[in-house]
Chains A and B, each alone.
Chain A
């Protein structure tokens, strides 16, 4: 039983990360109908930036306490990613806003490759170790173990998710975002500055990506220029599972995907007597995704919308 609880905790942590990244996909999709494949790589840039800042501060020997270093690193990484998100939208996507849908999609893949290559040139090919300035303390909880970094991941995701929902539903900016999402032209006619709102969406999404990047690399202790690809793909899957374009859906999809992977990998081998081993964990996740999409093509929480042109 403690093993089951441990698997649920594992899934929760993994799922929280997926959810945090999935929010970025879903926000952009909700407003532009664009799948921003470069989002995973923004996560990577966030992680590696934070890592560089921490390494610099530690070697500078200013004697700053660990939480201050972490907060500074987070602040720098969030700012860098916000600037990056803004630039990507301005340079790569805005000129293509009226182009056929396929063009920005291909561009997004191009931006993703560009970011990976630039990161490879700047940070090198090797794995970077996340400096252990805070030693993760392990907490035993009904026979299951969880570290404080993992607790932080779950709490942060929940908090950010709540904050984002508040922002979208109770602020002027949020109302403008919802209006833009519904109909750009009409929102523009009503005095909403469309370009500003879209930029804001990218900037907020990228800030979340930075936070996710820092949390992921703090948890696993490593960061590398290819880390964003698989994470991005999983987060995208989570967003689709929950219903892309829907914030609650991204959160739900992320958590579900994390739990499915964790429990699937943990029990598949034993339940099938070794016939299907833990290498089928990704297969299981995608089978669930296909199943959901067959029964509910819009995802779990997605709403049926008329095809926009």
Chain B
């Protein structure tokens, strides 16, 4: 009964929307703004679904707050509706859901989560003239395409990889380094930037090994690395692989330091690797939640609403959404063509810090923070840049 009922209401909403659209056309210029659709895309199934859901929650929280306070854009009361799509972290699926969002005529998109899905999808949003803010895609290419519609609220891989490479050579004193990446746009991009910075810092790269995002067995490549005796292993990839990988490193008796990027700096990694996580270094773009201007308050709000801990990017997704809403308010319109110039020049004080974009759409002054796992917690070391 309930499903039938729900389907009915959904159909009613669709009919209402269609009617609105017709009215809007009939009004000719006097555009009626009732429900405005906002798109979110990220992996809601598959091995990093926990991160996709985390982003969706951030966007949802921002929109529900906006709806609750009754947002006013250009003199019209506006109600926002979230269309959340599952891109399965798959580039192919990413363009399919992007097309779906474009067809649904969303006013803006927060997403995608992975660089691999964000980059191909950004072309579709660009062609449709829809603003896109990624809360977590860090691959350099995304904002290097000269798209006026593409923004991100997180420091990119070039910045992060460079900081990691310098940290490895100068702070950790690594001389012989082995690099593993997961062949994703994110992992490979980060590993490439790390390799450049580490080599520039005087380290030798002993091995460059590869895995992928479906694997849980890394013993073969780890054994090969063990034979070369590095003093540091760098991993460009996500927590789902790094967790079991750390356990296998421990089982093999491989005594190298372990350094990774933001995909590993998660609560999930600490759970997956358990006591093997001890001593692992990882970075995260931005500043720690506790050091964010409104971090602790946001964490509390998030927990109260969704009854779970923040994974990583929820505050960024929340800020991205709010920055977009702010631009809409300033422009007095939810039409991307009208609010895009405002978004490009936005100055918005968010949870993660000040949101402002450079001419490419990258966040201005995005800091990178470094952490070490100690006693089942990520212990903050320092923030570089920002």
Q: Output the least CB separation between B179 and chain A (Å).
A: 11
Number of interface residues of A (CB under 8 A): 41
A145 to chain B: which residues have CB within 8 Å?
251-253
Chain B 218-247 per-residue mask, 1 if CB under 8 angstroms from chain A, else 0 = 011101101100000000000010011001
B223 touches A266 (CB 8 A): yes
A220 touches B224 (CB 8 A): no
Q: Output the least CB separation between A196 and chain B (Å).
A: 37
Least CB separation from A125: chain B residue = B49
A127 to chain B: which residues have CB within 8 Å?
47, 50, 240, 243, 268, 272
Q: Output the least CB separation between A157 and chain B (Å).
A: 16
B253 touches A269 (CB 8 A): no
B272 touches A224 (CB 8 A): no
B247 touches A220 (CB 8 A): yes
Q: Is B53 an interface residue (CB 8 A)?
A: yes
Q: Is A126 an interface residue (CB 8 A)?
A: yes
The contact of A125 among B50, B212, B226, B250, by CB within 8 Å, is B50
A120 touches B45 (CB 8 A): yes
Q: How far is the CA of A104 from the CA of B338 in the complex (A)?
A: 56
Q: Output the least CB separation between A18 and chain B (Å).
A: 11
Stretch among A69-77, A92-100, A159-167, A277-285 lining the B interface: A277-285
Q: Output the least CB separation between B237 and chain A (Å).
A: 12
The contact of B221 among A136, A150, A227, A278, by CB within 8 Å, is A278
Q: How far is the CA of A227 from the CA of B211 in the complex (A)?
A: 16
B53 to chain A: which residues have CB within 8 Å?
125
Interface centre among B50, B207, B221 (most CB of A within 10 A): B221
B251 touches A10 (CB 8 A): no
A279 touches B224 (CB 8 A): no
Q: Output the least CB separation between A276 and chain B (Å).
A: 10
B208 to chain A: which residues have CB within 8 Å?
269, 274, 277
Q: Output the least CB separation between B300 and chain A (Å).
A: 22
Q: Output the least CB separation between B38 and chain A (Å).
A: 23
A10 to chain B: which residues have CB within 8 Å?
219-220, 223
A147 to chain B: which residues have CB within 8 Å?
251
B251 touches A277 (CB 8 A): no
A278 touches B224 (CB 8 A): yes
- Specify the main secondary structure of chain B where it touches its partner: helix
Given A222-B216, A265-B224, are A125 and B271 also a contact pair (CB < 8 Å)? no
Q: Is B386 an interface residue (CB 8 A)?
A: no
A279 touches B210 (CB 8 A): yes
Q: How far is the CA of A129 from the CA of B268 in the complex (A)?
A: 9
B210 touches A3 (CB 8 A): no
Q: Output the least CB separation between A63 and chain B (Å).
A: 22
- Between A and B, 20 residue pairs with Cβ closer than 8 Å are A3-B223, A3-B226, A7-B220, A14-B217, A120-B45, A127-B47, A127-B272, A132-B275, A136-B251, A147-B251, A220-B244, A221-B247, A221-B272, A224-B240, A230-B215, A262-B223, A277-B210, A278-B210, A278-B221, A279-B212
Besides A264-B220, A277-B209, 4 other A-B contacts (C-beta < 8 A): A220-B217, A222-B240, A226-B46, A277-B208
Write the residues of chain A forming the contact surface with B, with a CB cutoff of 8 angstroms.
Answer: 3, 6-7, 10-11, 13-14, 120, 125-127, 129, 132, 136, 138, 140, 145, 147, 150, 220-222, 224, 226-227, 229-230, 261-267, 269-270, 274, 277-279, 281
